[in-house]
Amino acid sequence: MQLRSCFLFVALALRVTAQNFEPDDFNVTQALVDRGVNVTAIPGLSSLAGQSSNQACSIACNALQIVYGSNYVINQSQAAYDTFTSGYWSLNQANVNPYCIFKPSTASAVSVLVLLSRLTQCPFAVKSGGHAAFAGASNIEGGITVSFELLNGITLSANQKTASVQAGQRWGPVYRELAKSDVTVIGGRVSEVGVGGLTLGGGISFFSNRYGWACDNVDSYDVVTASGALITASAKDYPDLYWALRGGGNNFGLVVNFNYATISLEGNNMWGGTRTFLESSFPQVVNAFSKVVADAEQDKRAGQWVAWLSYGGTKLAAAELWYDRPDGNKSNIFNNYYTIPAVSDTTQNRKFYGYTDDVQSNNPYGLREIYHALTVKADSDLASLAKDIFFEEIPSVANVAGVNPVLLYQGITVPQLQKMKQNGGNPLGLSASDGPFYLIHVACWWQNEADDAKVYQMVSRVLKRIKTEAESRGKQNDYIYMNYASMFQHPIESYGATNQAQLKSIANKYDPKKVFQTLQPGHFKLDRAPVPNSEFSLE
Ligand SMILES: Cc1cc2nc3c(=O)[nH]c(=O)nc-3n(C[C@H](O)[C@H](O)[C@H](O)COP(=O)(O)OP(=O)(O)OC[C@H]3O[C@@H](n4cnc5c(N)ncnc54)[C@H](O)[C@@H]3O)c2cc1C
Ligand SMILES: *[C@@H]1O[C@H](CO)[C@@H](O)[C@H](O)[C@H]1NC(C)=O
Ligand SMILES: *[C@@H]1O[C@H](CO)[C@@H](O)[C@H](O)[C@H]1NC(C)=O
Ligand SMILES: *[C@@H]1O[C@H](CO)[C@@H](O)[C@H](O)[C@H]1NC(C)=O
Ligand SMILES: *[C@@H]1O[C@H](CO)[C@@H](O)[C@H](O)[C@H]1NC(C)=O
């Protein structure tokens, strides 16, 4: 009896603390003063105090300039402004014009940014590698774009078990640095993609069959909350926030540091490359793809994707095959691919970091871009049909300048799904017992804005038709992978009603004033697609 009341008391106390992560009477001005920002000394600031004003961003950017100086704040009249915006991967994001660009070099400057945004109501976006494709994801029209580029530290722990990577880093430099110690981390397959976006949305790596996704290999996140607090979320501390950050995107805080569990990679050596096949071999390619997904448990070192495309009118299937140690072609798992005659083959032993540079070179900057995605249960008939649908639909964009549509297949394998459960699980809503799955997405680039609608029409028609086929065969799955989703999609909803509600309640606890929902409006929010109710959504 006594024990029970004691337990009750503890539970109540915990609940109270939980509700009070940010007190109701939290004073933003005082929080700034506590961080050394003399609010009364900055023109326009003290009179604002949370009211919106058309001067909001002028005042906020000016305040940042006064506090941090012109090395850290760039406005529209400086040459560095255009250099910065042209550094986004897609033209859709490069064409967005922020009021100013802020480059924090400390976690405390990130806190000040959040608090200044709250005080002035000037909205912001944050950029890690800038590879999210659609406008507003990591750049904001008329607001403050926060570039994490100066937060670029890479620190390996003394026992080499953890690599602490700051939010502005990109995968190439991370892998090169860690290679010096024969270790690496679970991250992207393209060198210039940022650690921030990829990890917060999930993160599929060359090594995911053995270790799981990037988000399932983060020991802890150092995160600046809406109240400007810097806390470390792990399976042990703030476990609810830790769970939410494993796929919940930019809705919970600004992560300044990702502390990844390392894996060993002797000599940075692996194997991989592309085997390219003609249309006459497509049935065998579909078969080989489905077999590698189905056999994933038998050889977890292997991975693959297949890209379907048309090159100068010739239909091709480009199978990217990889193995997490040299001589992957000796593994039986790829046998079905090796019996198909290839028109070209670049598979070879490689350094991991060099491999990510090679894949980077196939993904040029400066074009309009869309990724649009869905998930189905593994089924080779459906895979066969899906590529036929794609090839039927792409003639509708044949006249679009610079167009390059590609249909991509990847497996969400059972070993990957099993790793999603480690350290308390993640919110993606995928379970190994329903798997494996195929992740199918269309990636397309083109040149001119005038063709946007035509391209959106085509990519959405392809996926709608595949979805309809999946439904009629009982192979539909709701999951939408955030990192491949278009602005017409709503990944958080796709995680399932329970997980979406849980994510909202965690956001409510750490961000009761909805700072990351309203003052950081870009990318995938908890309750909406970036472009809601579009005819191009798959609903
Ligand atoms: C060429 C290319 C290759 C790719 N390869 C892979 C791959 O191998 N595996 C895979 O899984 N995905 C891959 N992707 C998809 C990729 O994961 C997403 O595009 C991802 O959003 C890119 O992250 P980023 O940091 O570069 O993007 P950004 O545009 O900088 O950020 C994306 C979103 O995350 C938010 N964000 C970034 N950092 C933080 C932070 N520290 N705190 C809070 N919010 C933050 C941003 O505000 C933005 O909303 C690839 C994409 C491209 C274009
Ligand atoms: C908030 O803090 C500032 C600075 O200390 C103070 O001037 C102001 O009165 C406080 N506001 C409220 C509502 O307490
Ligand atoms: C803050 O700025 C005001 C106005 O410039 C000044 O009077 C005051 O002394 C400053 N306070 C601190 C703590 O520096
Ligand atoms: C832009 O920044 C430059 C350099 O710091 C400064 O001289 C200029 O006054 C600023 N312009 C505006 C409009 O803020
Ligand atoms: C694997 O590839 C190497 C060349 O990269 C080649 O010498 C070897 O014969 C291949 N092995 C098999 C089993 O195909």
What's the CA-to-centroid distance between 129 and ligand 1, angstroms? Answer: 6
Mean pLDDT of 64-93: 97
What pLDDT does residue 7 have? 42
What's the CA-to-centroid distance between 77 and ligand 4, angstroms? Answer: 7
Is pLDDT larger for residue 14 or for residue 316? 316
525 lines ligand 1 (CB under 6 A): no
For ligand 4, atom 14, name the residue with the nearest CA.
Answer: 75
pLDDT of 15 above 80:
no
Residue owning tokens 């871009």: 369
The reply to whether 243 and 309 lie within a common domain is: no
pLDDT of 5 above 50:
no
Distance CA 500, CA 8 (A): 28
- The CA-atom distances, in angstroms, between 226 and each of 132, 141, 185, 254, 424 are 23, 21, 29, 8, 24
Query: Which range marks the domain in which residue 234 is found?
Result: 154-266+497-518
Distance CA 257, CA 244 (A): 16
423 lines ligand 5 (CB under 6 A): no
Say whether 321 sits in a helix, a strand or coil: strand
Report how far Cα 177 is from the mean position of its chain's Cα atoms.
22
The reply to whether 510 and 419 lie within a common domain is: no
| Residue to substitute in 26, 27, 227 for testing ligand 2 pocket (most ligand atoms within 8 angstroms of CB) | 27
- The answer to whether the CB of 259 falls within 8 A of the CB of 56 is no
State the DSSP string of 35-52: TT--GGGSTTHHHHTT--
The reply to whether 133 and 224 lie within a common domain is: no
Q: Is residue 342 part of a domain?
A: yes
| Residue to substitute in 30, 32, 34 for testing ligand 2 pocket (most ligand atoms within 8 angstroms of CB) | 30
The reply to whether 177 and 112 lie within a common domain is: no
Number of domains into which the chain is organized: 3
Distance CA 105, CA 147 (A): 10
Mean pLDDT of 186-212: 98
Q: pLDDT tens for residues 26-35?
A: 999 999 999 9
121 lines ligand 1 (CB under 6 A): no
- Element (H or E) spanning 81, and its range? helix 79-85
Mean pLDDT of 490-495: 98
What pLDDT does residue 360 have? 93
Q: Is residue 530 part of a domain?
A: no
The reply to whether 184 and 81 lie within a common domain is: no
Relative to the alpha carbon of 36, which ligand is closest?
Answer: 3
Q: Is residue 420 part of a domain?
A: yes
**Which structure tokens are listed for 195?**
């650690």
| Binding pocket residue ranges, ligand 2, CB within 6 Å | 27, 29-30, 33
- The CA-atom distances, in angstroms, between 99 and each of 90, 144, 374 are 20, 6, 35
Distance CA 94, CA 84 (A): 9
Phi-psi region of 366 (alpha: psi -120 to 50; beta: other; left: phi over 0): left
Q: pLDDT tens for residues 230-242?
A: 999 999 999 999 9
CATH code at 444? 3.40.462.20
What pLDDT does residue 14 have? 41
What pLDDT does residue 44 have? 83
Q: Is residue 528 part of a domain?
A: no
The reply to whether 462 and 369 lie within a common domain is: yes
The reply to whether 85 and 181 lie within a common domain is: no
Neighbour-count burial of 338, counting CB atoms closer than 10 A to its CB (0-12 exposed, 13-18 middle, 19+ buried): middle
What pLDDT does residue 49 have? 59
Q: pLDDT tens for residues 418-456?
A: 999 999 999 999 999 999 999 999 999 999 999 999 999
Mean pLDDT of 323-343: 97
For ligand 3, atom 12, name the residue with the nearest CA.
Answer: 38
Neighbour-count burial of 5, counting CB atoms closer than 10 A to its CB (0-12 exposed, 13-18 middle, 19+ buried): exposed
pLDDT of 270 above 70:
yes
| Residue to substitute in 186, 250, 361, 406 for testing ligand 1 pocket (most ligand atoms within 8 angstroms of CB) | 250
Q: Which atom of ligand 3 lies at the shortest distance from residue 38's CA?
A: 1
What pLDDT does residue 53 have? 66
Q: pLDDT tens for residues 84-137?
A: 999 999 999 999 999 999 999 999 999 999 999 999 999 999 999 999 999 999
The reply to whether 305 and 438 lie within a common domain is: yes
Mean pLDDT of 168-172: 98
**pLDDT cut 90: percent of the chain above it:** 93
The reply to whether 196 and 320 lie within a common domain is: no
What pLDDT does residue 539 have? 85
Residue owning tokens 């072609």: 329
Residue 12's pLDDT band (boundaries 50, 70, 90)? very low
What pLDDT does residue 45 have? 82
User: Which of 101, 120, 147 finishes a domain?
Assistant: 147
Residue 43's pLDDT band (boundaries 50, 70, 90)? confident
78 lines ligand 4 (CB under 6 A): yes
What pLDDT does residue 19 have? 59
Range name among 4-18, 188-202, 398-412 with the lowest pLDDT average: 4-18
What pLDDT does residue 447 have? 98
Is pLDDT larger for residue 9 or for residue 385? 385
Q: Is residue 72 part of a domain?
A: yes
pLDDT of 52 above 80:
no
What pLDDT does residue 54 have? 73
- State the pTM of this model: 0.95
CATH code at 207? 3.30.465.10
Per-residue burial over 8-39, b = 16 or more CB atoms within 10 Å of its CB, e = otherwise: eeeeeeeeeeeeebbeeebebbebbeeeebeb
Neighbour-count burial of 432, counting CB atoms closer than 10 A to its CB (0-12 exposed, 13-18 middle, 19+ buried): middle
Residue 37's pLDDT band (boundaries 50, 70, 90)? very high
What's the CA-to-centroid distance between 270 and ligand 5, angstroms? Answer: 14
Distance CA 88, CA 368 (A): 11
- The answer to whether the CB of 114 falls within 8 A of the CB of 134 is no
The reply to whether 422 and 365 lie within a common domain is: yes
What pLDDT does residue 400 have? 98
Q: pLDDT tens for residues 353-375?
A: 999 999 999 999 999 999 999 99
The reply to whether 340 and 280 lie within a common domain is: yes
The reply to whether 54 and 171 lie within a common domain is: no
Q: Is residue 533 part of a domain?
A: no
Residue owning tokens 């830790």: 242
46 lines ligand 3 (CB under 6 A): no
Q: Is residue 536 part of a domain?
A: no
